[in-house]
């Protein structure tokens, strides 16, 4: 890393890049880690970046992967900017200026595998760099471009993109002051699900050394099930469900078809969407099964959930108020929730409305219970669990999905975070949560008791975090 009069220059294996130094933090934005995934590279595994000569400016965020905006009312709560351009396989780096051998954290964004990018203000990595960590945030292909299932193309292209980005980190991050032998992955929602897969992929072995799973349990489906949305889009377009046919379709038309078949139904339900596929290659097995069988046992895992995940989808849409006792019974039957489980949740929450009760049960079915079972399977071992419990005062959102991100990054008050957190979220909670993530990446210990038979969970709430043991265990035991 060489400082000049016009910035700071770093030599990567593909060419030199120019960033800027801001208050002791070196910032590099929009660095390509793979070739643009269009033209000859469309629906293909990520290809190497064509090397360049001279110095390439890395002063502005790079293009984002093709995606549609969030639909109403999510669009007023979740920011998702789009930046045009083909070189969407890019990453950003924030590093302590002049540092060497620092721990590295790689952020993988969420968005149901069809939204999101690395350019949100809430994902700014300067506070990690301030605290001695080199922070990398990545883009990857989304939707049908990244997670379509075709007979004539590799599956899980978005996951392969993530592996290409981690390979770039291994090969280049030392030049930015990072330690390639101390890399912590962290991600939220679809980013967390991706990390669960990366922990079990043979192609990602050795590329990460710790992992943080935020509000996303490892999961994948057989190719037939994972390809449902691909087949529906092909039917909508009246073309064969092949990569060759899809590559001939105009990008805007393809995206419109994708929107039409994925519209409706929250991600917490079972509507049409995109999932990882157990392809026998980059993902040989269901990642949750592999992790239960001992995969990644040598990698420390910090995992957790938000206390009221469901409220992000149930409250703004009005769904929480539309569900009555009859529709609650239908939903519980559809998802095969046993009567004794429903009774346990009702007994613990006698004042909850039918919509709130369904939301809590859905949250536990999809997140809290799988993560508890994963921690059990990894015991004894380096596993820690947390719960984010601070309730937002905005629009009855409570401790909803995605609310914790600004606290983890210590970026409270950004324009994209305000709709969820409101104008005065507790900074002391951000201080504590951000510090735990930094400590985990630096030392391998976030600062509380490892998972054991007493089931310790760090509950992040104001005015101070509190270690609790076996929270809501009666409800969890009712699933057995």
- Can you give the pLDDT of all 480 residues of the chain as single tens digits? 666 545 899 999 999 999 999 999 999 999 999 999 999 999 999 999 999 999 999 999 999 999 999 999 999 999 999 999 999 999 999 999 999 999 999 999 999 999 999 999 999 999 999 999 999 999 999 999 999 999 999 999 999 999 999 999 999 999 999 999 999 999 999 999 999 999 999 999 999 999 999 999 999 999 999 999 999 999 999 999 999 999 999 999 999 999 999 876 555 555 689 999 999 999 999 999 999 999 999 999 999 999 999 999 999 999 999 999 999 999 999 999 999 999 999 999 999 999 999 999 999 999 999 999 999 999 999 999 999 999 999 999 999 999 999 999 999 999 999 999 999 999 999 999 999 999 999 999 999 999 999 999 999 999 999 999 999 999 999 999
* Total count of residues recorded for the chain: 480
Give the model confidence (pLDDT) of 45-102 as tens digits.
999 999 999 999 999 999 999 999 999 999 999 999 999 999 999 999 999 999 999 9
Q: CB neighbours of 260 closer than 8 A, spacing ≥ 6?
A: 236
Q: Answer yes or no: are the C-beta atoms of 452 and 385 closer than 8 Å.
A: no
Alpha-carbon gap, residue 158 to 145, rounded angstroms = 8
| Residue 375 within a domain | yes
Question: Is the residue at 231 inside a domain?
Answer: no
CA–CA dist 418, 405 (Å, integer)? 12
390: domain CATH number?
3.40.50.1820
- For residue 206, is it left (φ>0), alpha (ψ between -120 and 50) or beta? left
Identify whether 13 is part of a domain. no
Active site residues: 189, 309, 401
Provide the number of structural domains found in the chain: 1
* 122 in any annotated domain: yes
Q: Indicate whether 446 belongs to any domain.
A: yes
**278 domain-assigned:** no
pLDDT tens across 434-473, in order?
999 999 999 999 999 999 999 999 999 999 999 999 999 9
pLDDT of residue 263: 79
Domain residue limits at 298: 67-218+284-477
The answer to whether residue 318 is domain-embedded is yes
Decide if 198 is inside a domain: yes
The chain-wide mean pLDDT, for the chain, equals 96
* Strand-strand pairing, 90-96 and 25-32: antiparallel
3-state secondary structure of 199: coil
CA separation for the pair 215, 196 (Å, rounded): 12
Indicate the DSSP class of residue 36.
-
Q: Could you give the CA distance from residue 384 to residue 6 in angstroms, rounded to a whole number?
A: 44
* Main-chain dihedrals φ then ψ at residue 170, nearest 5 degrees: -55, -40
Residue 299 vs residues 109, 182, 255, 275, 305: alpha-carbon distances, Å: 21, 11, 37, 24, 20
* pLDDT at residue 5, as a whole number: 46
* Main-chain dihedrals φ then ψ at residue 304, nearest 5 degrees: -175, -175
């Amino acid at each position: 890393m060489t400082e000049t009069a016009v910035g700071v220059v770093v030599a990567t294996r593909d060419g030199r890049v120019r960033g800027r130094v801001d208050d002791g933090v070196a910032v590099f934005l929009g660095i390509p880690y793979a070739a643009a995934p269009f033209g000859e590279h469309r629906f293909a595994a990520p290809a190497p970046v064509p090397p360049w000569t001279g110095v390439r400016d890395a002063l502005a965020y790079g293009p984002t992967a093709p995606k549609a905006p969030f639909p109403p009312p999510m669009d007023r709560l979740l920011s998702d900017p789009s930046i045009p351009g083909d070189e969407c396989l890019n990453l950003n780096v924030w590093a302590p200026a002049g540092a060497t051998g620092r721990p590295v954290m790689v952020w993988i964004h969420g968005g149901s595998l069809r939204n999101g990018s690395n350019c949100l203000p809430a994902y700014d990595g300067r506070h990690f760099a301030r605290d001695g960590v080199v922070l990398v945030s990545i883009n990857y292909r989304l939707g049908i471009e990244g997670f379509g299932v075709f007979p004539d193309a590799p599956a899980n292209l978005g996951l392969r993109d993530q592996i290409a980005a981690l390979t770039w980190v291994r090969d280049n991050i030392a030049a930015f002051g990072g330690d390639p032998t101390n890399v912590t992955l962290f991600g939220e929602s679809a980013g967390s699900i991706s990390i669960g897969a990366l922990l079990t992929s043979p192609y990602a072995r050795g590329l990460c050394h710790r992992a943080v799973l935020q509000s996303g349990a490892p999961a994948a489906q057989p190719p037939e099930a994972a390809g449902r949305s691909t087949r529906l889009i092909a039917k909508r377009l009246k073309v064969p469900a092949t990569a060759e046919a899809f590559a001939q379709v105009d990008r805007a038309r393809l995206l419109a078809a994708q929107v039409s078949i994925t519209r409706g139904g929250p991600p917490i339900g079972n509507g049409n969407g995109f999932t990882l596929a157990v392809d026998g290659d980059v993902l040989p097995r269901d990642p949750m099964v592999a992790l239960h069988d001992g995969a990644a046992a040598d990698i420390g895992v910090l995992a957790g959930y938000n206390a009221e995940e469901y409220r992000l989808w149930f409250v703004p849409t009005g769904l929480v108020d539309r569900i009555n006792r009859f529709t609650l019974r239908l939903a519980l039957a559809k998802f095969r929730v046993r009567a004794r489980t429903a009774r346990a949740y009702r007994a613990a929450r006698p004042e909850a409305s039918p919509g709130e009760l369904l939301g809590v049960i859905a949250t536990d079915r999809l997140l809290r219970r799988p993560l508890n079972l994963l921690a059990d399977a990894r015991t004894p071992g380096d596993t820690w669990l947390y719960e984010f419990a601070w309730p937002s005062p905005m629009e009855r959102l409570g401790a909803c999905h995605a609310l914790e991100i600004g606290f983890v990054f210590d970026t409270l008050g950004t324009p994209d975070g305000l709709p969820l957190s409101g104008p005065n979220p507790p900074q002391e909670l951000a201080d504590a949560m951000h510090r735990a993530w930094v400590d985990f990446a630096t030392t391998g210990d976030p600062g509380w008791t490892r998972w054991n038979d007493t089931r310790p969970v760090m509950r992040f709430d104001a005015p101070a975090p509190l270690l609790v043991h076996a929270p809501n265990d009666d409800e969890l035991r009712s699933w057995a």
